Structure 1
Amino acid sequence: MKIWTSEHVFDHPWEIVPAAAMQKYPNPMNPSVVGVDVLDRHIDPSGKLHSHRLLRLPSIVKSLNGSARTKHKTMELKTTNISFTNMTSTILTQEAIDSVQGVSLSSYQEGLMVTKISSNASKGREAMEWVIHKLHAETEELTASVRGSIRTPMAAAAFVEK
């Protein structure tokens, strides 16, 4: 059995990290996910958001990685702002436990899997940063657009009054 763990600090306002996690796919770092379908989304009585999503893969990827067979994978994303300020950062903690049994070279295969998990986690963090930067750019563009539309009527009114 091999255990892999990682921590990454997202140096962004707390509110944007969960928003980015919900918009992570598709992204250029993981072209094998072509889309995401939300199957169910609800807020439980304690205020936690639950989102059951289905990642869509191209047919060729499904046949290569065995996704055509049933696999159960779970991702739990917990976000809590315990200080109630915007000056917090979000720490992503990841852990994988890999155990290969009943085949030859199981330790070697576990090592290969841990290497792949580490590589995929790195791509996932890059994808989150990509989405966060994209969200910032969209916000700046929207802000500039709103500022422009606010100035335009005032300038037109000033022009008409003269």
Structure 2
Amino acid sequence: MKLFQSDYLFHYPWDQVTAANWQKYPNELSSHVISVDILGRSIINNHILRTERLIGCKQSIPKWLSFIVGGQSISYVREVSEIDLNNKSLIMKSMNLTMNHLLLVKETVIYKPDLQLPDLQTTFNQSAEITAFAGVSKICDKLEEWSIERFGQNAKSGKLAFENVLNQLTEKWEQTGVFKDSD
């Protein structure tokens, strides 16, 4: 098993970040995401919105890996998120459904208001556990190393894409008066 960890600071308030989260796909910088379907929504304890989504992705894999696992080009991820309005947190947990008997990726993302500037910035904490299952440990190691590298590249471009979406939505919200101070 290999671990991935990333922390980031979005220079947008938590309310805007969590609202934009539902509108981040499709976007030109995350063209690998080809579908997002809501499987269910519920309210827990009158203040937590729980959403389960199925996300379809199209990504190419290296030839050596395709040779081992087959050439499946579309993969699916199950994401369960909980927005806690009382504690101002958004926790998203996702896991790949495709090929998870060979490679299991469990990701957790947490958005919270920044402790220093809670009305202006949002912290982003991302972690992932990546585990390969194969009879040969060298293959597992190679697959996990490649997956960690790929996950890191995707995480970097994902943050950039989300910044882009946040910027576009903020401009739109400013024009329409959404998220305006009530002072």
Verify same fold: TM over 0.5.
yes
More helix by share: 1
Q: How many Å apart are 1:27 and its aligned residue?
A: 1.3
| Cα offsets for 1:30-79 (capped at 9, x unmatched) | 21223322222222115111111222456x99932555947587665544
Question: Corresponding residue for 2:132?
Answer: 100
Equivalent residue letter for 1:137: E
Question: Corresponding residue for 1:24?
Answer: 24
CA distance in 2, matches of 1:120, 1:30: 9
Matches within 5 A, 1:2-151: 2-45=2-45, 47-57=47-57, 63-67=72-76, 69=98, 78-81=110-113, 87-101=119-133, 102-103=135-136, 104-143=138-177
Q: How many Å apart are 1:141 and its aligned residue?
A: 3.0
Segments of 5+ residues of structure 2 without an aligned counterpart are 62-70, 77-96, 178-183
Question: Corresponding residue for 2:81?
Answer: none
Give the TM-score normalised by the residue count of structure 2: 0.62
Runs of 4+ deviating beyond 4 Å: 65-83
Aligned CA distance change for structure 1 residues 77 and 19 (closer, same or farther; 3 Å): farther
**Identity among equivalent pairs (%):** 26
Q: Which of these two proteins has the greater Rg computed from alpha carbons?
A: 1
Q: 1 or 2 for the larger relative contact order (CA 8 Å, sep ≥6)?
A: 1
Equivalent residue pairs, number:
141
Give the TM-score normalised by the residue count of structure 1: 0.69
Q: How many Å apart are 1:112 and its aligned residue?
A: 0.5
CA distance in 2, matches of 1:42, 1:97: 27
Aligned-partner SS, 1:6 = strand
Aligned CA distance change for structure 1 residues 57 and 106 (closer, same or farther; 3 Å): closer
Aligned CA distance change for structure 1 residues 47 and 78 (closer, same or farther; 3 Å): farther
Aligned CA distance change for structure 1 residues 73 and 43 (closer, same or farther; 3 Å): farther
With 101-110 and 64-73 compared, the bigger mean Cα shift is at: 64-73
Aligned CA distance change for structure 1 residues 82 and 105 (closer, same or farther; 3 Å): closer
CA distance in 2, matches of 1:87, 1:138: 19
Q: Please, what is the CA RMSD of the aligned residues?
A: 3.2
Aligned CA distance change for structure 1 residues 125 and 53 (closer, same or farther; 3 Å): same
More strand by share: 2
